[in-house]
Amino acid sequence: MNVSGSTILITGGTGSFGNRVAAHLLKQSPVRIRIFSRDEKKQWEMQQAYPHFQYIVGDVRDEHSLEEAMSGVDLVFHAAALKHVPSCEQYPFEAYKTNVTGSQNACRTAKAAGVKTFVALSTDKAVKPLNAMGTSKAMMEKLVCSQNQDGGTTKFCCVRYGNVMGSRGSVIPLFKRQINNDEPITITVPEMTRFLMTLDQSVGLVLHAMQHATGGEIFVRKAPACTIGKLAEAICNKYSSKGTDHPIHVTGIRPGEKLHEILVNEYEMQRVTEEDLFYAIHPEYNVPEHRTEQPLGTEYTSANTCQFDSVYDIKPLLDQMGETELYI
């Protein structure tokens, strides 16, 4: 989409997503890109690469700081969140304050400021949630997707995806650190499946949502998947001097963790439209007549999508991922 002449706000903009989407948006000559986050150190680090951005220190929990940040904004990417599952399990009210109350603050101030389009980032963990992080993200989706029921000029929507390869806090940087330290790779359950999506693909999903949203949708990008065991094998093959002989230690599944990721559940599948690369889940208050028929009980999961069973299928995605150390 063309964002030339727009002012863009990215909440939580100093993370992996904010850095990469900013690089994409710069090519389209926006008037201004604002980075809103609570971590001044990460803002300083990001400013070394992108000195022309406007940096605002603030917290989505503080509605007043959001009001100032939203002034004159055309497009919002709402990426601010607490997303670390163990931390959210230990401090569920903190997850609620950021992921739920903070998102409501962002929606209200965006609508009041006359923002054109608002895209919030969600996660597979919001589907049939088992943990506090997923539960808070599920509530965030409900808040964002409900905003268009009463009309208004701002289009609100969400995107939902699984773990992004190489992003901060994900498993691939952990595996690489363990290899570099000559430690065994630690995996939970070898049979666990996870979607394989690069950071660039996640950015493409958000830009697709911003271009195609009419209000209230959740957009999902189709992606292949593999088992954690096979991913660990591919990473050893690519990065370890020992190759696939690098030791792997199985630790067992963690509390609140799913064996397989679900990106579209069986209820949502009854109100989707489908393209080659995307699903659009339409809100119950605005289901189109031309929706794509799906068999009852169908879900879209990391267990039933295209499976990468070979190390040589996975390695090209690791090449596309790039250097994870660049994701601050």
Q: Which CATH class is domain 7-161+197-222?
A: alpha beta
Q: Cα 250–254–258 angle (5° rounding)?
A: 105
Contact in structure between 226 and 311 (CB atoms under 8 Å) = no
Alpha-carbon distance of 129 to 304, in angstroms, equals 19
Active site residue 42: no
Per-residue pLDDT of the chain (328 residues; tens, 9 = 90+): 678 899 999 999 998 888 888 888 888 889 999 999 999 999 999 999 999 999 999 999 999 999 999 999 999 999 999 988 889 999 999 999 999 999 999 999 999 999 999 999 999 999 999 999 999 999 999 999 999 998 889 999 999 988 788 776 678 888 999 999 999 999 999 999 999 988 888 889 999 999 999 999 999 999 999 999 999 999 999 999 998 899 999 999 887 788 999 999 999 999 999 999 999 999 999 999 888 889 999 999 999 999 999 988 998 888 877 554 433 3
* Per-position DSSP letters for 142-154, written without gaps between them: HHHHTGGGG--S-
Q: Which of 42, 83, 111, 125 is catalytic?
A: 125
Q: Are 220 and 281 in contact (CB under 8 A)?
A: yes
- What letter represents residue 222's amino acid? K
Task: Give domain limits for the chain.
Answer: 7-161+197-222
pLDDT value for 324 = 47
pTM above 0.95, yes or no: no
Give the three-class secondary structure for 2: coil
